Amino acid sequence: GDIVLLAKPVTLTEGDRVTLTTDVPVATDGTSKPEKLLYAVSVPPVHGQIEHINYPSVPIPRHSRLDVVAQKVPSIHDNSHGAGKEPLR
């Protein structure tokens, strides 16, 4: 079916960490099984990474909707001085 993705902007500054929730991003593919959705990181953060809490310090290229629901997917800024704010995409 059709895929719809709505994303709210998240901005991280030096040393920040944000855990992705079902509000960021919200996705549906028209089926009755949103837990089967997989998200791919097509543009990784320049000054940090998206990781899984079970594998700290290891960037991940994709994660599931269930990982997001369980709040297991944080995005972490790498403390780069002068990096300023970075949007999460």
Task: Report pLDDT digits (tens) over 49-64.
Answer: 889 999 988 999 888 8
**Longest CA span, the chain:** 45
For the entire predicted model, the pTM comes to 0.66
Per domain, the residue ranges of the chain are 1-61
Nearest to 52 by CA among 63, 36, 40, 41: 63
Residue type, 53: I
Residue-level pLDDT at 20: 75
Mean pLDDT calculated for residue range 71-86: 75
Poorest-pLDDT segment among 9-13, 70-74, 84-88? 84-88
* Residue 55: Cβ-neighbour burial (10 angstroms; 0-12, 13-18, 19+): exposed
CA 43 to chain centre: 11
